[in-house]
Amino acid sequence: MITKRPPGGTARLAGRAVARIGYGAMQLPGPGVLGPPRDRALAIAVLRRAVELGVNHIDTAQYYGPDVANKLIHAALHPYPENLVLVTKVGADRDRQGRWISAQRPHELRAGVEANLRSLEVERIDVVNLRLLGAERDPGERAMRVDLDSQLAEMIALRAEGKIGGIGISSVNVHQFRQALPAGIACVQNAYNLLDRAGEPLLELCREHDVAWVPYFPLGSAFAVMAIASLAACFLPAWRATRTDPARILRD
């Protein structure tokens, strides 16, 4: 199915060679990442086209939909190409109203992995990111209600059982990254883009420890409102100071 060279070249993720440009499945479901897409056939076609263009790293989650993104991936690509790396995440869920809720306890992490295994119809997920909710940049603040060591212990157990290949961590600060390192971390998935580079100290640590850095919202945001807000935060001060054409600010 792969007909093109890996876009952006290749990198290593949990011991696998992946294209540096992957595909994030969060926007496949309906509005608000809830329910089916407006056009199921188009969503499936997009997935197949991404793989045809050389993408072999797809990021998804059971709670995208919920279950919608995973089922679309299954419908589009199963049986999966041998070089396709599927990456999911756990640590959140959706309630009956579709609101995002925490699912951070060890048994909830395990349930999340099992749900992903079922909907993707695989025996092992290549990488599972532990998405920490409420993580703060200040290492002195205890934002987590669940002990990180107990979460990591559950992830290590799932890896030992062969249900996941690599352990990733997401939305973490430097302190949490250092705490997680002994677990054998495959990747860090944090927000990072041209407009928000606050995560660069953590990026440097990942480089130092040879841990893959997998940024989300690389273009500013997956949501139009957030993207506009990000652009405004970047360009408004320069415009106020100079009254320069925004296009020129961007070029400069």
CATH number at residue 156: 3.20.20.100
Residue 33 has pLDDT above 90, yes or no: yes
Q: Is 98 helix (H, G, I), strand (E, B) or coil?
A: coil
Query: What is the Cα–Cα distance from 146 to 49, expressed in whole angstroms?
Result: 40
Name the token pair of 55: 């993408």
Q: Which sequence positions are flagged as catalytic? A: 64
Whose structure tokens read 């944090």?
Answer: 190
Query: What is the Cα–Cα distance from 179 to 221, expressed in whole angstroms?
Result: 28
Q: Give yes or no: residues 18 and 91 share one domain.
A: yes
Query: What is the Cα–Cα distance from 170 to 189, expressed in whole angstroms?
Result: 4
Distances 185 to 17, 29, 130, 212 between C-alpha atoms, Å: 16, 29, 10, 9
Query: What is the Cα–Cα distance from 14 to 242, expressed in whole angstroms?
Result: 47
Q: Give yes or no: residues 207 and 241 share one domain.
A: no
Q: How many domains does the chain have?
A: 2
- Cα angle value 96/102/104 (rounded, 5°): 135
Q: Give yes or no: residues 23 and 53 share one domain.
A: yes
Residue 75 has pLDDT above 50, yes or no: yes
| CB neighbour list of residue 26: distance below 8 Å, 6 or more residues apart | 33, 59, 60, 61, 64, 69, 222
Residue type, 59: D
> Mean pLDDT over residues 83-94, rounded?
97
Q: Give yes or no: residues 242 and 213 share one domain.
A: no
Tens digits of residue pLDDT in 208-244: 999 999 999 887 765 444 445 555 555 555 545 665 5
Whose structure tokens read 């995973």?
Answer: 70
> Mean pLDDT over residues 51-63, rounded?
97
Q: Give yes or no: residues 234 and 166 share one domain.
A: no
Q: Please tell me the predicted confidence (pLDDT) of residue 220.
A: 75
Tens digits of residue pLDDT in 104-163: 999 999 999 999 999 999 999 999 999 998 644 444 444 447 999 999 999 999 999 999
- The residue range of the domain holding 236 is 226-252
- Model pTM? 0.84
Q: Give yes or no: residues 16 and 123 share one domain.
A: yes
Q: Give yes or no: residues 132 and 247 share one domain.
A: no
Q: Give yes or no: residues 147 and 216 share one domain.
A: yes
Residue type, 206: C
Query: What is the Cα–Cα distance from 46 to 53, expressed in whole angstroms?
Result: 10
Does residue 3 form part of some domain? no
Residue 164 has pLDDT above 90, yes or no: yes
Q: Give yes or no: residues 109 and 189 share one domain.
A: yes
Does residue 4 form part of some domain? no
Q: Give yes or no: residues 135 and 238 share one domain.
A: no
Q: Give yes or no: residues 234 and 152 share one domain.
A: no
Q: Please tell me the predicted confidence (pLDDT) of residue 172.
A: 96
